[in-house]
Structure formats: C-alpha cells, structure tokens
Amino acid sequence: MTLPATRFAGLSRHAAILVLMVVGLACAGLLYVALIHVDAVSDPNRGSDREMYERVVGQMRQGVNYYDAARAQLAAGGYGMQSVFNWRTPLFPSLLALVPATIWAQAVLLLLALAAGALACRVAYLGLGRRAAIALGALEVLGLGVCFVPQSVVLSEIPAGVLILLSASAYGLRRPGIGQAAGILALFLRELAAPYVLVCLFVAWRERRWREAMVWLVALLFYALYFFWHVHLVQLHQSLGDHADARGWLTLGGADFMLVTAAFNGLLLAAPLWVTAILLPLAGLGLLAWPGPAGLRMALTVFGYLALYAIVGKPLNGYWGAIYTPLLMPGLVWAPAAFRDLFARLVPASATT
C-alpha cells in the first residue's frame, strides 16, 4: 500500500528544511541530556510510591478507611503530607480494594491494554495499511509491556494511560461515545489525565461539536466537585506537625525530566536513555505529520504533557510518563511517511520527473 500524504506534503522547501533541522537539533539535544543524566536517588527507608500504595490497598482490604490508611503509610514513608497532591484521590484505591488480590485487577488491566492496542492498530490499518498495523502491534507490545509487570496496576498512571490510548483510538475510529467514557474514567482515576480532557474539549470546540464539548465541561465540573471533596477530607486527616516537601512540585526539570517521563514506556524502560532521546523526536514528528483529527488529538496530548513535565514533577516521578507514552507508538509508524514527504519537498518537481 502506498503511504498516504501527510501534513508535510504541502510544505515549501524552506519549511521542510526547517522541520528537518528542528528534528535533528531535538535528537542531538536530547542525546546530550541523556548522556549527562544522573539517576535520582531514592530514600531506601521510604521505598517506592508503588510499594506505599500497595500497602494502602492492603490495609483497605482489612477494613481500614482510605484516608486513615493513606495517612499511616505517608507518615511511615516520610512523605510531605501538607501537600494535598501527595494524597491520591480515593476512587482507584477503593476499586483495587474491592478485589481479594491485586492479580485480578492486573488481569483487568491486561484486557484493557489489549483492547486499546487493538483499536490503535485498527486506526493504523485504516490510515497506513496492514504493514503499519502489524508494526504498531509490535510497538504497542513494547509500550504496554509494563502492564505485564506484577503489581504495576497499583500505579494509577498506568491504567489511566491505557484508557487515554483507548479513548484517542476510539475517536480515530469515529466512536466518540467510547472515547468520552474512557477519557472521563481516566480523569477520575488520576488527575494527571486532566490535560488530555482539556485537549478533547479543545478539539470538540474547534470542530463545533457543541454537545460533546458540553459533556466534557460537565465531566470537568463533576471532577472539580469530587476533588474539592477530596481536599476537604485530606484536611480533616492532616495535623499541625505534618511537614511539606522542601522542593515542591514546580521543579523546572526541563528536558531532563521530559526525557525521563518519555522513557517510562513499557519494556523500553529497560533500554538506555539515549534510545528514548532518538525515539521521542521521531514519534513527535510522526504525530505532527498524521493528517486528520486523530493525529491532532494525540499530538496535542503528547506535546501538552511534555510542556507540563518540563515545569512540574520531581525527579522520582518519572512514572508519570505512563499517562502519555502509549500515544508515542502511533507517531513512530507515521514517521516514515513524514520523512518521505519532507525529503520530497527538498527535490524540485522537475528533477524528480
């Protein structure tokens, strides 16, 4: 199947040169960041966030209230409990506590990941053909491979990221009902899904789908009420002796933290950081080149999160990248078509003939 034209097919020669230069500079800059990167050192007495929330869920299964269990474990790990953002919203832990063992929730996550990957491959098949769909299937096995890691379901960013992939792919297949349901559920599982919801609201407004935009606005309103209720309950469980983290959340991690979050991409997490430094600009290029609303939605989401993480996030929060990294893989399968159109603009039509 001949690769379809991308957004870059209509660029001028100078614009194509500029895009290629930006991609080259981005690869070079991120490679430099990867080479000088120093891994954040965690407190051995605290353990990981995953282990802490696993203990919270374990206490909830024994009948302990979520906020009591969270306070006990946050205090034991030395977390700064003055910040409400160190207290996760209660819906996701409560859902995990409903099942007798985490392995059952892990099985649900795997099924959800298979469904999201299948929809993404279907979108690739319709846009690029069978080979691209097969390639994306292999890439999504890598990208969603973290779902096979035992206890990974405890990190709410992982199921929220799977839901965002499911939502964006459903929109690509013109199934807005599924897309909205998955996006709203992702928001209520983890507030970090809010940028994706805002992107969906913007796309609905841009395309004048007023009913859909209204649904997103109502969802945001209900989530705001839910979050303020959560803040109130957190305040009831805080005390004057609670301390705050010295660094806060506005750490201005820049390209380094962006790269760390992009590396939290399933099984690619085991690869050297320089691999992500090369793949990230290629995926971004592919998403920008992807014509149609599906590509626009995914591109705005990925670049929105990258901009956000350049400002917000602590060095040990690299797993936040699980929210958006599943969307990088569709960008990679569009990268060859993007390069074809860019290089075609460098050669005059007469010379090509």
For residue range 134-192, what is the model confidence (pLDDT) as tens digits? 999 999 988 888 888 888 899 999 999 999 999 999 999 999 999 999 999 999 999 99
Domain assignments of the chain as residue spans, ordered by start: 7-37+44-346
Q: Token pair of 330, please?
A: 């569709």
As a dihedral over the C-alpha atoms of residue 3, residue 8, residue 12, residue 13, rounded to 10 degrees, the angle is -70
Which DSSP string do the residues of 177-209 spell out, in sequence order? HHHHHHHHHHHHH-GGGHHHHHHHHHHHHHTT-
Query: In this predicted structure, what is the pLDDT of residue 238?
Result: 85
Query: In this predicted structure, what is the pLDDT of residue 39?
Result: 83
Please work out, in degrees rounded to the nearest 5, the angle formed at the alpha carbon of residue 295 by the alpha carbons of 134 and 31.
Answer: 80
> H or E segment at 75?
helix 66-76
Query: Do residues 335 and 128 touch, judged by C-beta distance below 8 A?
Result: no
Query: In this predicted structure, what is the pLDDT of residue 81?
Result: 80
Q: Token pair of 76, please?
A: 């034991």
Query: In this predicted structure, what is the pLDDT of residue 350?
Result: 47
The whole-angstrom separation of Cα 285 and Cα 281 is: 6
Is the entire prediction scored with pTM above 0.95?
no
> pLDDT tens digits, the chain, 353 residues: what are they?
577 889 999 899 999 999 999 999 999 999 999 999 888 766 656 668 888 899 999 999 999 999 999 999 988 888 888 888 888 999 999 999 999 999 999 999 999 999 999 999 999 999 999 999 999 999 998 888 888 888 889 999 999 999 999 999 999 999 999 999 999 999 999 999 999 999 999 999 999 999 999 999 999 999 999 999 999 999 998 887 777 776 777 788 899 999 999 999 988 888 999 999 999 999 999 999 999 888 999 999 999 999 999 999 888 889 999 999 999 999 999 999 999 999 999 886 545 44
Query: In this predicted structure, what is the pLDDT of residue 44?
Result: 59
Query: Do residues 180 and 167 touch, judged by C-beta distance below 8 A?
Result: yes
Q: Token pair of 82, please?
A: 């003055």
Query: Which ranges constitute the DSSP H helices of 147-272?
Result: 157-172, 176-189, 194-206, 210-236, 254-263
Query: Do residues 342 and 178 touch, judged by C-beta distance below 8 A?
Result: no
Contacts of 30 (CB under 8 A, 6+ apart): 255, 259, 276, 277, 278, 280, 281
